[in-house]
Copies of this chain bind each other. A is one copy, B any other.
Amino acid sequence: MRNSIGNNVVLTLFGESHGSAVGAVIDGLAAGIPVDQDFIASQLSKRRPQGPVDTARREKDQYQILSGVFNGRTTGAPLCIIIPNEDVRSADYEATRSLARPSHADYVAQVKYGGFQDYRGGGHFSGRVTAAIVAAGAIAIKALEAKGICIGTHILECGGVRDTDFNDLGSPESAALLESYLKAVNEKDFPVVEDLKEAITARILEAKSDSDSIGGMIQTAVTGLEPGLGEPWFDSLEGVLSKALFSIGGIKGVEFGSGFGFARMRGSEANDSFCMIDGKVRSLTNHNGGINGGISNGMPVVFNCAVKPTPSIAKEQRTVDFLKGQDAPLCLKGRHDPAIVRRICIVVSSLVAIVLCDVLATSRGTDYLK
């Protein structure tokens, strides 16, 4: 399945950083879902590099829908969307093509593809491919919105600066507040709940000025998801979400609800007691991040992702020349992000939306999202 994910709504990715285009096929979407072209464009703009903390590569991201949409709605046939590459400077990569950039995929690609890989800008491993996820995900996000499901991702922590933790909003009374936060971060160009854009930007620029990069942690919440979605074992909500999330370069950890915090808790603290509220089963706390036994329990689904520092840094590094088989110093030119925490948020929300469309189609049938 390699570059495809999903059982009933299936996303397939293709494209390279310096090839003609990146793109996605999304198959299995219900017919009749409205396709809001302005929303797709606006989502792409959120992923796009835009200021001093992002790479200097500037792509217009003029996407084209090649199939699956007719008269402004999905047809039920596979939807192919492509985003041509334009601002390509492949020459940056020729000189260093056999130098394995540390923590990048250059060396493993060489081993796996035997030298036939497109090595320019990371080729198919490039974060550029996530533009296709965002474009396809925009349609999924709107389809879920129509069902009352809202997804939002924010920077939880970067450079020691920490935003509101959605896990602190786990009580039934906090539901409305959480949803308002999600909507707010979805509108912002810098996705944080509190007024932290400048503080975080300062930390990123500090790293940049040191020819370095920094990591961070992002947090996603999904509200409005009905209980009963997911499966007991391998298609648990945690399992299908994490498989998708780990495909994004830079994500090295995923935790649901209290996650690694559970390691230091007792059952009496960690258990989410159920209660009846307005005739519905709710839990008083949400340490489990809205998931019990792999299945949604009607509370918000909340999870954190660890994002490693961008491996491309301007500082000189030690590495090997894998064609010569010898050690070599590495000085990267290229254009890189000193931190990807901002840009990755929209990618995560988009991918999560596609996964949830799949989960809903599996449980409720293809036509549910129509």
Contacts and interface: CB of A to CB of B under 8 A. Distances in A.
A33 to B, nearest CB: 9
Contacts of A318: 273-275, 284
A63 interface: no
A356 interface: no
A128 B253 CA distance: 27
Given A307-B262, A307-B263, A109 B293 contact: yes
- Tallying the copies of this chain within the complex gives 4
B258 A255 contact: no
Given A293-B104, A310-B267, A75 B281 contact: no
A7 interface: yes
Given A3-B78, A75-B116, A263-B217, A252 B247 contact: no
A219 to B, nearest CB: 11
B117 A31 contact: yes
A66 B97 CA distance: 22
20 contacts: A2-B234, A7-B8, A14-B25, A20-B64, A21-B66, A75-B116, A103-B271, A105-B232, A108-B292, A112-B295, A207-B267, A252-B255, A258-B308, A260-B306, A262-B307, A267-B309, A267-B313, A274-B319, A275-B327, A288-B308
Interface stretch (A146-154, A193-201, A360-368): A360-368
Interface in A275-312: 275-276, 279, 281, 283-284, 287-289, 292-298, 304, 306-312
Interface string A336-370: 00000000000000000000000000111111101
B20 A10 contact: no
Interface stretch (A47-55, A170-178, A179-187, A238-246): A238-246
A59 to B, nearest CB: 16
Given A14-B68, A263-B307, 17 more contacts: A1-B7, A3-B234, A7-B7, A12-B25, A13-B78, A25-B25, A31-B112, A77-B117, A111-B227, A213-B266, A217-B260, A236-B247, A254-B254, A262-B307, A262-B309, A273-B317, A273-B318
Nearest to A8: B362
Nearest to A351: B234
A259 B270 contact: no
Interface in A1-46: 1-5, 7-8, 10, 12-16, 19-23, 25, 27-28, 31-32
A363 to B, nearest CB: 6
Most B Cβ at <10 Å: residue of A231, A269, A275: A231
Most B Cβ at <10 Å: residue of A129, A243, A252, A270: A252
B79 A252 contact: no
Interface residues of A, number: 156
A19 to B, nearest CB: 5
Mostly, the A contact residues are mixed
The 5 lowest CB-CB distance pairs between A and B, nearest first, are A105-B293, A365-B365, A253-B255, A77-B124, A213-B267
A323 to B, nearest CB: 11
Interface string A107-121: 111011111111000
Contacts of A274: 100, 102, 107, 318-320
B266 A214 contact: yes
Contacts of A306: 255, 259-263
B124 A67 contact: yes
Contact of A12 (B16, B27, B217, B292): B27
